[in-house]
Amino acid sequence: MKTNLLERRQECLKLRSKGFSLAYIVKELAEKYEVTPRAIYYDWKQRKAWLQGLLEIKDPQTFFLDILATHKEIYKQAVLEQLKADNSSARIGALNLQRKLNKDLAEMLLYRDAVDRLERLEERTKLERKGEWKIL
C-alpha cells in the first residue's frame, strides 16, 4: 500500500512538472492505481505535507536534470513561438518567457552550486572533527 502511494506521488509530481494538467493526471493515476479521482485530488491538495520528503527520497541529480529538460523544452517552444508569431505582442511575450526561463535557470544553477558547496563544507567539517582532514 505505502509503496503504491509513494509511486503514485512520484508519478504525479513528474507529470505535473512536465506540464500536464491536474485533471489529466487525476484521470490517468486514478485508473492506473485503482483509486478514486477524489483520492488523487486530496493527495495533491495535501502535497505540502509529503512533497519535501518525496524530493529527499528521489535522487537530487535526476530531479535537477528533469527540471532542466523541462526548461529546455519550454524554451524551444518559446523560440518557435517567437519566430512564427504574426504580431509584435506575441513576439514580445515569447521573448519575455525566454528571459524568465533564463533567469530561472541561472537561479537554479546558483542554488545547486550553493547546496553542493554546503554539502562539501559539511563533509569537510565532519572529517576535521574526526581528525581525518588536514588543512594545508
CA distances from 125 to 51, 78, 121 (A): 29, 45, 6
pTM > 0.75: no
pLDDT at 56 over 70: no
Alpha-carbon gap, residue 98 to 46, rounded angstroms: 32
Tell me which of 12 and 65 has the higher pLDDT.
12
**In the chain, where the domains are located:** 1-58, 59-136
Alpha-carbon gap, residue 5 to 128, rounded angstroms: 41
Whether 6 contacts 54, CB under 8 Å: yes
Q: Which pLDDT tens digit goes with each residue over 10-38?
A: 899 888 888 889 999 999 999 999 999 99
Q: State whether residue 113 is helix, strand or coil.
A: helix
Q: Which H/E stretch holds residue 80? A: helix 60-84
Q: What is the pLDDT of residue 37?
A: 94
Q: What is the pLDDT of residue 23?
A: 93
Tell me which of 118 and 83 has the higher pLDDT.
83
